[in-house]
Amino acid sequence: MTTQTREPAIRVQAITKSYKDLHVLRGVDLDVAAGSIFALLGSNGAGKTTLVRILSTLLKANTGTATVHGFDVSSAPGDVRKSISLTGQFAAVDEVLTGRENLVLVAKLRHLKNPGAIADDMLARFSLADAGNRRAATYSGGMRRRLDIAMSLVGNPPVVFLDEPTSGLDPQARIEVWQTVKQLAKDGTTILLTTQYLDEAEQLADRIAILHKGTIIQNGTLAELKQLLPSAKVEYVEKQPTLEDVFLALVGDTSDTADEAAMSAGEESR
């Protein structure tokens, strides 16, 4: 552990990935500091899920290297898998089981001691204690997502990948998930999340990177990204650019309707 503390928790160097003629990742570089929240932004089809799948060893890059928690994803995939959790867009929750039973099941699958105690601890951490003995089918979308994240965190992996953790959730449920993510980072977990919601990146991320046309075109803190645009537009009031203004200026899309279509193109986001 101590030998790894100075290294970034995630290091990505010159990663490329093509699907036949489609060059999705054309040389991606990024570092994620241990214990930080890093948001990867990009339009539909930018390659966010592809990068997350490479980092979680589900997919092989064509060229380049990546390490997670000090382990190389291609030469030590087993060690990487033991160090991470991945929550995708599709919940792993079994609806017939109660929340508690879902958690106990995961703890047993991971050969952990005291699965019942682990489940109770997770239910408490994710504000699901009162609902723990109800079937997951009766949960709201936000509760289900929290349960899904809780299940992926059984065993307390040091690095967590969240691929669009709040897509499809209502504002209240999103805030609940955000609180969960913030608490995880406070406890020292490293989090890489992808999102199309720019306010989500603004709320959560210590650093934000924009993936566009196969490379990271910007990478910085929110304040650094905001400095890329003139800081004050004078209309009636001085207006700071939002991250959305910065994103659209960088990606070059000024059409509201295209933006809305991208935001709601759920069937493409898998």
Q: Which residues in this chain contact Mg ion in the complex, by CB under 5 A?
A: 48-49
Q: Which is nearer to ligand ATP, 26 or 226 (CB)?
A: 26
Residue 53 vs 146, nearer CB to ligand ATP = 53
Sheet holding 71-72, edge to edge: 22-32, 10-19, 63-68, 71-72
**Between 110 and 213, CB nearer to ligand ATP:** 213
Residue 67 parent element (H or E): strand 63-68
DSSP 3-state of 12: strand
Are 17 and 62 within 8 A, CB to CB? yes
User: By the 8 A CB rule, do 68 and 159 touch?
Assistant: yes
For 32, the token pair is 């994620």
196 binds, among ligand ATP, Mg ion, none (CB under 5 to 8 A by kind): ligand ATP
Q: Residue 156 or residue 218: which is nearer to ligand ATP going by CB?
A: 218
Binding site for ligand ATP (CB under 6 A): 19, 22, 24, 42, 44-50, 196, 268-269
Residue 42 interacting partner from ligand ATP, Mg ion, none (CB closer than 5 to 8 Å by kind): ligand ATP
Which residue has 């995708």 as its token pair? Answer: 88
Q: How far is the CB of 45 from Mg ion (least distance, A)?
A: 8
C-alpha 227/C-alpha 232 separation (Å) is: 10
What does 64 interact with, of ligand ATP, Mg ion, none (CB < 5 to 8 A by kind)?
Answer: none
**Partner whose footprint covers residue 19, from ligand ATP, Mg ion, none (CB < 5 to 8 Å by kind):** ligand ATP
Q: Between residues 83 and 195, which has the closer beta carbon with respect to ligand ATP?
A: 195
Query: Rg of the Cα trace of the chain?
Result: 19
Instruction: Give least dist CB 145 to Mg ion, A.
Output: 16
What's the rounded Cα separation, in Å, for the pair 34 and 8?
A: 6
